[in-house]
Structure 1
Amino acid sequence: MSSPLRNGEQAAAGRRKAAGRMGTLLLLLRVFALCFSLAAAVFAAMDGAVLRLAPFRFLLAANAIVAVYSAFEVAAAAWEVCKGATLLPEAMQLWFDFGHDQGFGYMALAAAATAAREAAACGGGNISNAACLQADVAVGLGFAAFVFLALAALATGFRLVRFMATGSRLPGSSSAPSSTSPY
């Protein structure tokens, strides 16, 4: 039989549980961003008629880059959930995640918006109906990838603000000693 937890141990256990929830949420958002960006890149690459148009080449390149970044971030988030520690030093990891989520998210949005305009015109009548449908699907998947990157940016931004306010990405922790501890 284990002994009951003391106040400090209970607080630490609660912080680990809350950090695990945020880490799991980020992992899921990153997996969805990976899936949608990879699918958008595949759909954009499947038809040569669509790839003759520059906006769809941009959509392909942007989503391929986002997929590679998301694969790295999935691995980093899985590491953090499993080990409870970041790959890089904490401050560097938080700034890295937030900055790159923002940058790659806007790149995915710009590519999808540019390709959407071309898809709406359906290449000026130079593309078959099947290719137009495929282009529409690629654009939709690109926008979905942006949405999940934007949500991940919100979560990493929240973690960054928490770090700047308390000195830790973990909830409720601070560098000051707790006044509730009897020791």
Structure 2
Amino acid sequence: MASPLRNGEQAAAGRRKAAGRMGALLLLLRVAALCFSLAAAVFSATDGAVLRLAPFRFLLAANAIVAVYSAFEVVAAAWEVAKSATLLPEAMQLWFDFGHDQGFGYMALAAGAAAAREATACGGGNISGTACLQADIAVGLGFAAFAFLALAALATGFRLVRFLATGSRLPASSSSSAPY
């Protein structure tokens, strides 16, 4: 029979559990961003009619870049969930995640907005109805990828603020009230 946990052990177990939940949430958000950005890139790449237009080439490039970045981040998040440690040193990993989530998120949003403008005009009437539908789907998938990347940026921002305030990405230990 295992001995009961002491106060310090209970606090450490609680911190690991909370860090595991945040890590699992980030992993889920990163997998979703990867799936949607990859799907948007595939939809953009397979439509030759819309690739003649610059906004759709930008959409393709942006979503391909976000997919590659998200694949790396899925590996890093899976590593963190499995090992309870960051792939890079903690401070570097937190700043890397937050900064890149912000930068790539804005790039995906800009590409989606530019392509959405062209998609509503359907290339000035130079594109067939099927190509217009495929372009609309690519834009929608790109915006979904941005949404999950934006949620990941909120989570990584929260972890970064926690790190700056406490010196750790893990929740602060709860102070136990010792009997006087």
Shorter chain as denominator, the TM-score bin is over 0.9
What residue in structure 2 maps to residue 21 of structure 1?
A: 21
The alignment of Structure 1 onto Structure 2 pairs a total of residues equal to 179
Once the 2 structures are TM-superposed, how far is the Cα of residue 35 of structure 1 from its aligned partner? 0.2
| Structural mapping, 1:120-159, within 5 Å | 120-159=120-159
Whole-Å separation in 2 of the counterparts to 1:153 and 1:123 = 33
State yes or no: 1:101 paired with 2:91.
Answer: no
For normalisation by structure 2, the TM-score amounts to 0.97
CA contact (8 A) 1:8 1:181 kept: no
How much has 1:173 moved relative to structure 2? 3.8
Partner of 1:79: 79
How well do the aligned residues superpose, as a CA RMSD in angstroms?
1.4
CA distance in 2 between partners of 1:181 and 1:123 (Å): 70
Matched ranges for 1:45-124 at <5 A: 45-124=45-124
The unaligned stretches of length 5 or more in structure 2 are: none
Runs of 4+ displaced beyond 4 Å: 178-182
Q: Deviations over 1:4-45 (max 9, x none)?
A: 000000000000000000000000000000000000000001
Following superposition, the deviation at residue 181 of structure 1 comes to: 7.0
SS of the residue 1:81 aligns to: helix
By how many angstroms is 1:108 displaced?
A: 0.2
Counterpart in 1 of 2:6?
Answer: 6
The answer to whether the 8 Å contact 1:166/1:173 transfers is: no
Query: What per-residue deviation string (whole Å, max 9, x for no partner) do you get for residues 152-176 of structure 1?
Result: 00000000000000000001249xx
Q: Distance in 2 between the 1:10 and 1:167 partners?
A: 20
Which ranges of structure 1 fall in alignment gaps of 5 or more residues? Answer: none
Aligned partners of 2:176, 2:167: CA distance in 1, in Å?
18
Query: Normalised by the size of structure 1, how large is the TM-score?
Result: 0.95
